[in-house]
Amino acid sequence: MLKQKKFFISTPIYYSSGNPHIGHAYTTIIADVLARYKRLFGYDVFFLTGMDEHGQKIQQKAFEENISPKALVDRNSIIFLNLWKRLNISFSKFIRTTQMDHEESVQKVFSYLYKQGKIYLGQWTGYYCVSCEENYNPAEIIKSQDNIMLCRMGHKLETKSEESYFYKMSDQAPFLKTYYQNHPNFIIPNERANEMVNNFLNNLEDLSISRTTFDWGIPIAENPKHVIYVWLDALMNYLTATGYLSNNEELFQKYWCDNETEIVHLLSKEIARFHCIYWPIFLNDLQIRFPSTILSHGWIITKEGKMSKSLGNVIDPNVLIDTYGVDALRYYLMADLSLFRDAIFSEDNLIETYNTQLANSYGNMISRTLGMLKKYRNNIVPKYVGCVLKNDEKLENLINKNIELVQENINKYSIDKALNCIQEILVEANKYVEDNKPWELAKNQQEQELDSLLVHLVKVIQVTTTLLSPILIEGSKKAVEQLNFDESFLTLASLASYDIFNYHKVNDSKPIFARIIVEKQ
């Protein structure tokens, strides 16, 4: 018996100082879609997401609201969880860095690395961004027109000097450069690796990993006036969520200790530095394997530019779900926005994609096919007898080829290209109907030809519903109900057979994706 392949995928843990926006939803939907596809492909999947709940920004925000930091992060974690429920996110674990088991394991990591000589006590002086929770050296800062010091994201910097523990990193740049060169798929897209080398690794400095100016964090056991700074705390969630250094390391052993596990960290490009540089160094010093791939996607921007509260262009995914439905949002984000570049979010494009690809192409194919089965065959799928019509074989070959291409593209994290392959099947199927004119086949009593057409169209619906099911969570369930399928019909193994539909009874069709009509102003 073949060993089941394993897939571990994580989102970044989201900072708990504010409400989720479309960027959070985008990253999490990508991870969910990849996790669902891998399950469809037969993988054992562990999908991790959660909240980063320590730091100065949270402490300040709680002070402004006159509540405790714990009350703030408790409230915000519920807000995120409610959104993930609405978005049909199928995570395996939701971790919070305020959990006792996480905090204890992080303290153990610090103590181990300190004893190994990887960490030392020193004095940190420089510029600090509260919003980014990041230090900046003089070479990295930007001066505004009125001479205000800004970080690369445009936030105001503070000048600070304090005692800090440092992580020895400056001597590890050559090792990482070599690793990047020898593992070209470690960072995707590849240009992100070049950015790491040119912008950071060529001048890599030791990393400040503790603070004394606030206390909302994990205290260092050896020196409790210090709390562990965000990145040593936050990044460790990928290990602690699986029980690393706890009294139950079963999941850690299962996923991280198996070199054949495909481990993917999914994140937006602004935090690539921490995952592509700091995280591998931490893992190397802990003698733990590296992730297979760090998948660093681009930003969602608007026509005004990058989203910000000051521009008033922050997009609330809850509003989009209320307006268009969850499947429409999930599909648009996966079909129109490539992972590997910045993409402009447009409601007009969302509507166009929904109407063209879901309402017209996929939804109409279901309605059309079920309508013909009711009209011509009393809702009974005829028996498959092979290729009868002259273009039956062409359609079958396209279906088989594109099933393979969908898998290939998903395994390359090219979800948009996978969806193009699915749409190609639907486009060809619509052409197949127009070319064969079922109304004339019925009129001329060409029963065998009409049977073959109907069987092939049911196969198209089964294949496209199966391949779209990781994205269209609600729509695929409705399609399954109308087709009177059970779950065994929506597996890769079942896609190879046409005989499984012989004399299968379907239900009447109802619109699954009604067109969105936009009133002209």
Q: Are residues 137 and 212 in the same domain?
A: yes
The number of beta carbons lying within 10 Å of the beta carbon of residue 11 is 23
Q: So what's the pLDDT on residue 259?
A: 97
Output phi, psi for 219, to 5 deg. -70, 145
CATH code (residue 419)? 1.10.730.10
Q: How confident is the model at residue 126 (pLDDT cuts 50, 70, 90)?
A: confident
Is 1 contained in some domain?
no
Question: Nearest CA to 338 among 183, 516, 188?
Answer: 188
Q: Based on the domain organization, do 73 and 222 belong to the same domain?
A: yes
pLDDT of residue 364: 97
Tell me, yes or no, whether 352 and 275 share the same domain: no
Model confidence at 482: pLDDT above 90: yes
Clarify whether residues 279 and 194 are in a common domain. Answer: yes
For residues 256 and 277, what is the distance between their CA atoms, to the nearest angstrom? 19
What whole-number distance in Å separates Cα of residue 146 and Cα of residue 219?
39
Domain CATH code at residue 253? 3.40.50.620
CA 70 to CA 86: how far, in whole Å?
25
Residue 337 falls inside a structural domain: no
Instruction: Report pLDDT for 156.
Output: 82
pLDDT confidence band for 309 (50 / 70 / 90):
low
Whole-angstrom distance, CA of residue 177 vs CA of residue 200: 11
Count up the domains in the chain and report the number: 2
The answer as to whether 319 is a domain residue is: no
Closest by CA position to 228, among listed 337, 321, 98, 344: 98
pLDDT, one tens digit per residue, over 414-434 is 999 999 999 999 999 999 999
pLDDT in tens, 207-240: 999 999 899 999 999 999 999 988 999 999 999 9
Q: Is 285 in the same domain as 351?
A: no
User: What pLDDT, on a 0 to 100 scale, did the predictor assign at position 143?
Assistant: 66
Residue 516 lies in a domain: no
> What is the pLDDT at residue 138?
66
Residue 6 backbone phi and psi in degrees, to 5: -120, 140
Tens digit of each residue's pLDDT (9 = 90 or more) over 8-48: 999 999 999 889 999 999 999 999 999 999 999 999 999 99
Same domain for 212 and 361: no
* Alpha carbons 307 and 352: distance in angstroms, whole number: 23
Is 276 part of any known ligand binding site? Answer: no
Q: pLDDT by residue (tens digit) across 276-287?
A: 999 999 999 999
Is 421 known to sit in a ligand binding site? no
The Cα 231–Cα 222 span in angstroms is 19
Same domain membership, residue 195 and residue 132? yes
pLDDT digits (tens, 9 = 90+) for 332-343: 999 999 888 888
Residue 308 to residue 465: CA distance in whole angstroms: 37
412 and 483 share a domain? yes
In a domain, 404, yes or no: yes
pLDDT band at 151 (very low <50, low <70, confident <90, very high): confident
Give the SS3 label for residue 434: helix
- pLDDT at res. 488: 80
* Predicted local distance difference test score (pLDDT) of residue 312: 65
pLDDT at 457 over 70: yes
In a domain, 515, yes or no: no
What is the spatial distance between Cα 486 and Cα 497, in angstroms, rounded to a whole number? Answer: 15
Residues 153 and 283 in one domain: yes
Is 333 part of a structural domain of the chain?
no
Q: 306: burial class by Cβ within 10 Å (0-12, 13-18, 19+)? A: middle
Question: What per-residue confidence (pLDDT) applies to 144?
Answer: 64
- Decide if pLDDT at 4 tops 80: yes
Residues 265 and 367 in one domain: no
Question: Both 165 and 21 in a single domain?
Answer: yes
pTM given for the model? 0.93
pLDDT of residue 74: 98
Residue 291 · residue 118 · CB < 8 Å? no
Per-residue model confidence (pLDDT) at position 100: 97
pLDDT over 90 at 89, yes or no: yes
Report yes or no on 408 lying in a domain: yes
Q: How confident is the model at residue 2 (pLDDT cuts 50, 70, 90)?
A: confident
Within 8 A by CB and 6+ apart from 370, the residues are 379, 482, 483, 506, 507, 508, 509
SS3 14: strand
**Strands (DSSP E) along 251-310, which ranges?**
262-268, 293-297, 300-302, 305-306
Domain holding 475, by residue range, is 347-501
Domain match, 290 and 364 both: no
